[in-house]
Chain A
């Protein structure tokens, strides 16, 4: 006779540790795969996980096995035409229909494919990176509260009953109420024991015994647990602090920015957005595109519409400043700027641009400028490079030449500062 056990409610995910070990071990390959996959993602699409494919040969577990060659006799079923001595041309790839055992681990395929969830995805993506100047500005906490345990009270719902506290105060009360009587009891018992045997002690003995009975009864009447003993856990409402960030995506959409450059910029923005939303409870996006005039647009228009014309960077900075003033008070919001451009700018705009960026930077937590170009330093690069020294805390700029650069550059911009 056997017995049956229902194990379905046992803790699940026994393999979680093993899974994490696996992810940890192949971090590098997974990182590459994730970086590759970024291409197809939407900017705000950070909710889903990611499918990861890494080369099978990298994760193999070697063991001694036979290679091809030598003499092997296979036995196979279903003979429909052969007799002894028949010769069969060797099939392509050799092996002669030998039944290699099935491969549950997907061996034989070139790639090992699996899913990682959102958290794992972000972990991999932002491994060893951090937000610089992560001083969360105002932690506004008016909207949401959470219940926190704090102390005890003598009133409350039964569910909050604190057994330990209640018993403790009951014990204290019993000790306090009975103390005098117990002392007397002890003394009387002592006296009783010392009383001489026989007649002469008899009246006193009876007196004492009567008193002892009385005292014992009185003591037993002290209640074990009384209403006044009951204690409840107290809860109070604590405001949950919220940190908010706004990310300004500034991009040049003049004729010189072609689709491939925009794609590169987009991937950079995706990274930044994911990164910010990991660090802040709420992250908003503002898209500003500009050629000679700047305009605030939605994501779709930001990446997909085309304009022609010259480039006046200051227009975008001016708009950014206006938007900050109108909607995102720096005391309340953590402001991040990310500007992508091919580096062109109207020569006469340089001074104005420099003045404006100097006004914008103090408002920002961080401002990153990426220049996507193959040709050397462009006008905007030259303007901005003067900022690097003065604003080294909040300003960074990097060159990007191809998709392969984006992640390293991003990594460089947000590298963990080794203090």
Chain B
């Protein structure tokens, strides 16, 4: 693989299927030399309209019908037509085979870039990272989406579009609260899924109504039950709780909740690994294309074009720039991945102090370990080096609503590295990003009021009008009164209630 001078694969800028095939073959070979473990690739060339379609259905190749997807489509279409935004060059799905959509407008260089980025970078991340391995099943997702789409269409036939839409709206509002964070799901085929659904429908309807149970209980037990909360422990998976316990839902409605829950669970790892996933993919497209150049497979012109795209993606405007909109996950991820390799290959004294475990180890193994066993939060906490913090000139600012100024709590200096690193890591912890809300209690001896509790982490309140809307949706699913309490230091400080009396339909 050492610099054998070869003829470049092409000198023109427009792609053809034959050329793409050549590039893909070479990229696959080089990726293989780097020991990237991937699912088989299925690369599909699509038009911009199809790309907008893919955007609209929340990044799924197939999805059920819902107005909100139509809304997103119109929004994307509108801003694309007016030139306010460009479309992504590719979309890649975590499935086996790994499906990547490439836009037909891309130049040949761009196609090569996105094949390396998506079909080898993201693909190997999907296959390797523990979150994806635990929570998603690349084998069955396409099957499952086909099942979901048909099932929802079927429900629409039987119960009417509006009925289904109401349930879906409510589920979408709670989508982020439909994930198990700790339990491992069991992979299932389409056929199993169908059978299980039928069984479930029968059994659920018989069992769900723990709340209705009228079998008399002994005095003691009654006392005990009077005091016990139901559920005994707070439930974080609100959709799951509703699916299993909401008293008034029809079997098909429970199934719809389940579908939304499953999709949410499937997307959950993506939300937790944005920095790592993009960083990993950028790292690999960068090195794979450089390796192609080293082997004489691509021309200088190709590399100039590639580097232009690359640097446009890897650009971080400073905090005071009008273009600043938060930390660019591509930049953070790419810088950290590059730095990991540097620490492995050429560690400085500082690196040896900070990363005694990995300084000077084989870089392939180190990076493979980092890719497999971390998510954004832990990855940053573990591997954000002083070097990267200095490069990006990171500093942390405390915004406390009880004070009328912001305070700089750490900058890129010896006393600040640890603070900055911890703060940044916390900013990628979904537990901090999303309000922490759990099902707390059901008053099942009385009016069946459902109580949820919001733990105010760092005293951060809920956005009121949104929360009220979501509580309405909760009420729709639960069927009885719903109360959402915000709790700070063990004390309830505010609550949103929604009861039948106040429903104004």
Contacts and interface: CB of A to CB of B under 8 A. Distances in A.
Q: A and B, one complex?
A: yes
Interface of A: 1-8, 10, 12-15, 17-25, 59-80, 82-90, 94-102, 104-106, 112-115
Contacts of A25: 67, 165
Given A18-B56, A90-B404, A70 B461 contact: yes
B20 A80 contact: no
A21 B435 contact: no
B65 A21 contact: yes
Contact of A80 (B46, B393, B465, B469): B393
A26 B68 CA distance: 11
Classify the secondary structure of A's interface with B: loop
B43 interface: yes
A13 to B, nearest CB: 7
B165 A65 contact: no
A23 B71 CA distance: 9
Contacts of A78: 316-321, 324, 392-393
Given A21-B65, A113-B78, A4 B45 contact: yes
Nearest to A4: B43
Given A15-B52, A21-B67, A76 B466 contact: no
Interface string B428-455: 0000001101000000000000000010
B462 A74 contact: no
Nearest to B153: A17
Given A21-B70, A59-B71, A98-B326, A74 B392 contact: no
Interface in B33-75: 40-47, 49-50, 52-53, 55-57, 65-75
A65 B68 contact: no
B395 A79 contact: yes
Contacts of A72: 398-399, 458, 460
Contacts of B175: 63
Contacts of A4: 17, 20-21, 24, 43-45
B411 interface: yes
Closest 3 CB pairs of A and B: A99-B326, A78-B318, A2-B41
Contacts of B28: 1-2
A49 to B, nearest CB: 12
Interface string B456-476: 111111111111011001000
Contacts of B204: none
B463 to A, nearest CB: 4
Given A5-B42, A63-B175, A115-B78, 12 more contacts: A10-B46, A22-B71, A61-B172, A62-B469, A64-B177, A66-B462, A69-B460, A70-B456, A77-B318, A78-B317, A78-B320, A78-B392
A249 to B, nearest CB: 35
B324 A19 contact: no
Most-contacted residue by chain A among B43, B318, B406, B409 (CB, 10 A): B406
A18 B469 contact: no
B492 interface: no
Most-contacted residue by chain B among A18, A106, A114 (CB, 10 A): A18
Interface stretch (B251-259, B306-314, B415-423): B415-423
Interface residues of B, number: 108
B269 interface: no
Contacts of A70: 400-401, 456-461
A88 B42 contact: no
Given A17-B65, A78-B321, A86-B407, A6 B45 contact: yes
21 contacts: A4-B17, A10-B50, A17-B65, A18-B65, A62-B173, A62-B469, A64-B463, A64-B467, A65-B463, A70-B458, A72-B399, A75-B423, A75-B427, A76-B327, A86-B408, A90-B399, A99-B324, A99-B327, A100-B325, A104-B79, A112-B74
Contacts of B76: 104
B42 A2 contact: yes
Contact of B460 (A3, A71, A87, A106): A71
Contacts of A106: 75, 78-79
B203 interface: no
A160 to B, nearest CB: 35
Given A70-B461, A73-B426, A19 B73 contact: yes
A75 B75 contact: no
Given A18-B73, A73-B409, A64 B462 contact: yes
A77 to B, nearest CB: 4
A61 B56 contact: no
A25 B161 CA distance: 11
Contacts of B408: 82-88
B260 to A, nearest CB: 13
Contacts of B69: 15, 18
Contacts of B78: 106, 113-115
B412 interface: yes
A71 B398 contact: yes
Given A59-B71, A79-B394, A73 B427 contact: yes
B397 interface: yes
B240 to A, nearest CB: 16
Contacts of B115: 2
Given A22-B67, A61-B68, A84-B409, A77 B392 contact: yes
A2 B119 contact: yes
B466 A62 contact: yes
B176 interface: yes
B393 A79 contact: yes
A81 B9 CA distance: 49
Interface in B218-232: none
A64 B320 CA distance: 29
A373 B401 CA distance: 57
A61 B44 CA distance: 32
B466 A77 contact: no
B77 interface: yes
Contacts of B182: none
Contacts of A115: 74, 77-78, 81
A365 to B, nearest CB: 36
A77 B394 contact: yes
Nearest to B398: A73
Contacts of B53: 13-15
Contacts of A15: 52-53, 56-57, 69-70, 73
Contacts of A80: 318, 320, 393
Contacts of A90: 399, 404-406
A25 B67 CA distance: 7
Nearest to B460: A70
B25 interface: yes
Given A67-B463, A73-B427, A8 B46 contact: yes
A112 B459 CA distance: 33
B410 interface: yes
A66 B399 CA distance: 14
A18 to B, nearest CB: 3
Given A62-B466, A63-B466, A76 B319 contact: yes
B483 interface: no
Given A7-B50, A99-B325, A67 B461 contact: yes
B50 A8 contact: yes
Contacts of A98: 326, 399
Contact of B70 (A12, A19, A86): A19
Most-contacted residue by chain B among A4, A22, A80, A86 (CB, 10 A): A4
Contacts of A87: 405-408
A64 B470 contact: yes
Contacts of B426: 73
B85 interface: yes
A71 B412 CA distance: 22
B424 interface: yes
B405 to A, nearest CB: 4
